[in-house]
Chains A and B, each alone.
Chain A
Amino acid sequence: MNMFDVFAYIVVGAPILLFCLLGGLPLVGRSVSESFAAQATRALILIGLGALIGIVLPQMIVAKGEPLVLRVGEIVNLPQTHFHLRLEFIFDGLSLPMVALSYVLCGTIAAFANNYMHRERGFQRFFFLFAMFFTGMTWAVLAGSIETLFLGWELVGLSSALLVAFFQERANPVTNGLRVWTVYRLSDAALMVAAILLHHAPGEGEFVELGGRVDWPHSISTLDDNLAFWAGLLFVFAAIGKSALWPLSGWLPRAMEGPTPSSAVFYGALSIHLGAFLLLRVSPLLDQSPVLSSLVVAIGILTAVFAAVAGRVQTDVKSGLSFASLVQVGLIVAEIGFGLRYLALVHIIGHACLRTLQLLRAPSILRDYHELGNALGESVSNRLPEGRRTGSSLTTWIYRFGLERGYLDVFWDLFVVRPFVNFFRRCDRIERAWIAWLSGATTHQAAEPKSESLTEERP
């Protein structure tokens, strides 16, 4: 084990250590104080960042951009069945900027949250979920194999859903958390199938092999066209779910129900870009298929246009910012579809930093405006133009379209969720009647289930 390996282990190990520490202690009945949670988070993020800046980055410079791979080992290897799960991390031109970004932004958000969440009920829970997210994000962006990426991807999804439902005494955050989880899980299913398809391909799911052993961003796919298309399509679907691209954009403004620090780090900075990152990682597959590339461009542009329209008419700052994020993510995805990989990467980094700043300022900006207004003696907030606003029917329609967020939630609820729920509720009624008949009861003890919606739940 050389010096690079040791420090690379620190980079990938610091988040998981934090996660185990903050999750394990409460599980065995030990309470975690606010100061301990904050200090452990700060210390481990600094250690990881130090290892990254101190050793790994210079190593990369010495290696002149050659990717460095940290092979932790085979989790499972069954040569007779051609099945293996490999845990390995890659430090290359794509993952290094992303992991540095993750460390810096997570450190910033942790410092912010330490004050913002002070004496909040669930402070420890927040930091535990934050550690889970941090682990997932670090592992996902550094993943050298599809299995490692899947592991990180899932941790990001779970922490995201639980943080959206952080304010758990209210119904809306919880309902929205479940919605986020539902979209994530369905897109994760696509990622899992894609991962298994890659197992059977040359390279067996290793990104270095997938890119023909050529450094990112010049990597070239080694898969045959058919497999590349299907695997690529599944990756695109996974990215749509994770990055809230059209037509699965409906969950993004709902996810803003979580605490502001988590909204900033998830939906402003890191998590929202994970889908775009995935597309960058598998960009050789997109290059191989013009159909896929066109699809990615179309989805990106549609997302950007939709989010721009919806974002214009939002009435709260966090929703407005979420749609503003989505516009940029749509553009980033379109750039990836056009093959502009470096531009997309730079765009991700710039956008993540800007949006984090905006989201962290959001809770205090109104107060600042009021203070400024008091000092000036007049209101500085934007005023609507006086007089009755008139518009053509098209303008009105677009306005309503934006206000209803493109009717996306309505569409999914009406055509997917409701038929599904109604069908299985009917099955449930049939089963209960069948059991009642078998047990010889005229009226079965178990009454019909109460009518309730999966999407509109109230405590």
Chain B
Amino acid sequence: MSEFRIPWLMLAIGIPAVAAMLLVRVKDSDRAKQLCLSALGLSLAATIAEWIDFARLGANQAHDRWDLIGWICGFDVLVVDRFSAPLLGLHALYTVLLVLATMRTKIGRVSFSQLLAAHVVHQTIFSVNHPVILIALLAINLLFPWLELRARGKNSRVFVLHALLIWICIALGYALAWACPPEWPLSFVGYGLLVVGLMARCWTIPFHCGLVDLHERLGFGSAILFSAVMVGPYLAIRLGLPVLPDWSMQVLAFFGLLTAIYSASMALVQTEVRRVYCYLFLGHGSLILVGLETGTPAGVAAALGLWLGSSIAVVGLGLTLRSIESRFGRLSLSEFRGYYEHVPQLAGLFVVTGLALVGFPGTVGFVSTELLIDGLISRSPIAGAVLVIAAALSSIAVLRMYFRLFTGHRHQTTVSLHARWSERVAVLTLILLLIGGSLVPQLFIESRLEAARQLLSLRPTLGSEVSHSTTDHQPSSAANSGELSETRPTTPSTEQHPTSEVP
């Protein structure tokens, strides 16, 4: 395994961890925000450096040099691969922009030390491949929303029930799937539990209500981060993809597709902005599961591309809505609000990020969406059509929300409500990524394709074939590798023992 020249991962995780501890004692909100931003900025710089270093190494996996945690544990704990390398930087960017765009009037309610601690946990999750550590980190990850709900005096019962279900199902399911030979009935119970746990963590139907409720009760910023980080799909890839048999992946994909169309439809009848936002996120987040099931490098690459594209758009749209909410309070869609004249820039940013979320042409999500539909239509035309209709309904929901928020009778205000520079910088940065990514989609998709091949090589039924296609992958032998990439093996993967694939 290749080594980074400098322990970037330790820096990306360690700096905010130290800052989180220091911030516990800082009472002044302004100072806390500045310290938090500094720590996050350094963390972001470290993750960008890690990404560049990783690209220069040209390796499939890399870990830190002078890895302290690895030395203590006796194995490499912090490892990044082609799939997770960009996620660290992107997540750090989201957190920086979120803090940057937080209005001064709101910072008194934000616990910066907790925010940094959550950031540390998220960064660690994206740097870890080991299933046991991942499952442990999942438990910590689920603690943060609960702590915030408690701090705000909100009812946390729904979230606690979902969190318990998620953790128990994933932990127990993975343990059974790992321990039992595939022919044992208990292994099927394990697969079933793991599927239920992953479905619940990806908030697919029928577990989506947990996230909708959370969005209503949590602070908007925390809700955005909790959604955009997409730990659920990450676990599906790290824990599910190497272990689960084909039928389990099909169940995940089926519920993913169902969630996509259901959420897009539900977004159309909601009367509260946060709920619409949540359903839009649900609809697009669940498509990742659909892409994973295709089992082809192109399908998985589309899922990974959608992951990046939709998470950037989700954060951009969320920050825009949060900026509007911080000016006008909780937003209802039961009437036309007429905010355009007050916040014209935010209206523009809303349209761009909203349409990027639904994969409008000219944004980074378009190519991934088309690639996914392309892969899906060749497997199941009905599923492909459902996906296209879901995207169409989502875009109608986005424009409906735009009209409800920004059109209508204009109200006079005595103070300027225009977007502040920090809010503009935050959303414009994300828009640059959304549009910039669409200008060089080849690089973007190719990087995701490489990551997809690497991930699929872990899959028992596909490993040998995909690794073959990876090593032999040359344009001159395109026909052969193309055939491989589009052919899903029919042998049920349950015939192989998952333990052989467990790291």
Contacts and interface: CB of A to CB of B under 8 A. Distances in A.
Interface string B100-131: 00000000000000000000000000000000
Interface residues of B, number: 73
B271 interface: yes
Given A185-B392, A200-B378, A435 B298 contact: no
Contacts of B395: 181, 185
Interface of A: 23, 26-29, 74-83, 85, 150-151, 154-155, 158, 161, 165, 168-169, 171, 174, 177-178, 181-182, 185-186, 188-189, 192-193, 195-197, 199-200, 420-421, 424-425, 427-428, 431, 434-435, 438-441, 446, 449-450, 452, 454, 457, 459
Given A81-B375, A459-B336, 4 more contacts: A76-B441, A151-B362, A181-B399, A438-B213
Contacts of A85: 367, 370, 441
B334 A452 contact: yes
B407 A168 contact: yes
B158 A76 contact: no
B388 interface: yes
Given A76-B442, A165-B407, A441 B155 contact: yes
Given A80-B478, A80-B481, A185 B338 contact: no
A33 to B, nearest CB: 15
Interface stretch (B23-31, B232-240, B261-269, B283-291): B261-269
A81 B336 CA distance: 46
B209 A431 contact: yes
Nearest to A181: B399
Nearest to B410: A169
A182 B482 CA distance: 38
Which of A76, A177, A182, A185 has the most CB atoms of chain B within a 10 A radius of its CB? A76
Interface string B201-231: 0000000010011001000000000000000
Contacts of B213: 435, 438-439
B482 A81 contact: yes
B407 A420 contact: no
**Considering residues A428, A452, A459, which has the most beta carbons from chain B within 10 angstroms of its beta carbon?**
A459
A174 B367 contact: no
A169 B403 CA distance: 10
A85 B442 CA distance: 10
B374 A83 contact: yes
A79 B399 contact: no
A452 B336 CA distance: 12
B384 A78 contact: no
A74 B344 CA distance: 35
A457 B333 CA distance: 11
Contact of B361 (A151, A168, A169, A449): A151
Contact of B345 (A26, A171, A186, A200): A26
Query: Which of A185, A188, A454 counts the most B-chain CB atoms under 10 A from its CB?
Result: A185
The secondary structure that dominates the A interface is: helix
B403 A178 contact: yes
Contacts of A78: 298, 371, 445-446, 449
B235 to A, nearest CB: 23
Most A CB contacts (10 A, CB to CB) among B157, B158, B349, B407 go to B407
Contacts of A83: 298, 371, 374
Contacts of A80: 297-298, 469, 473, 478, 481-482, 485
A81 B268 contact: no
B269 A81 contact: no
Contact of A189 (B389, B409, B481): B389
B276 to A, nearest CB: 12
19 contacts: A26-B348, A75-B367, A75-B441, A78-B449, A80-B297, A80-B482, A81-B298, A81-B482, A85-B367, A151-B362, A154-B361, A165-B407, A168-B340, A169-B338, A178-B396, A186-B392, A431-B212, A435-B213, A446-B216
A420 B403 CA distance: 20
A150 B361 contact: yes
Given A27-B428, A76-B445, A83-B371, A424 B269 contact: yes
A75 B442 contact: yes
B360 interface: yes
B270 A449 contact: yes
A193 B377 contact: yes
A420 B265 contact: yes
B194 interface: no
B385 interface: yes
Given A174-B336, A185-B392, A438 B158 contact: yes
A249 B199 CA distance: 42
Interface string B347-365: 0110010010000111000
B335 interface: yes
B3 interface: no
Given A83-B374, A424-B269, A193 B388 contact: yes
Contacts of A200: 378
B457 interface: no
A185 B360 CA distance: 11
A341 B298 CA distance: 39
A438 B157 contact: yes
A324 to B, nearest CB: 29
Contacts of B340: 168
Interface string B443-481: 001100100000000000000000001000101001001
B384 A196 contact: yes
Given A28-B428, A425-B269, A431-B212, A79 B475 contact: yes
Given A76-B442, A85-B441, A174-B407, A454 B268 contact: yes
Contacts of B209: 431, 434-435, 438
A174 B157 contact: no
A174 B155 CA distance: 38
A181 B155 CA distance: 39
Interface string B27-44: 000000000000000000
A424 B268 contact: yes
A459 B469 CA distance: 58
Nearest to B483: A80
B391 interface: yes
A82 B482 contact: yes
B492 interface: no
Contact of A178 (B373, B400, B445): B400
B424 interface: yes
B399 A178 contact: yes
A165 B409 contact: no
Given A27-B349, A189-B391, A420-B265, A169 B485 contact: no
B20 to A, nearest CB: 30
Contact of B266 (A29, A178, A428, A439): A428
Interface string B248-291: 00000000000000100110111100000000000000000000
Contacts of B374: 83, 196, 199
Contacts of A431: 209, 212
B151 interface: no
A154 B297 CA distance: 29
Given A459-B338, A459-B408, A174 B385 contact: no
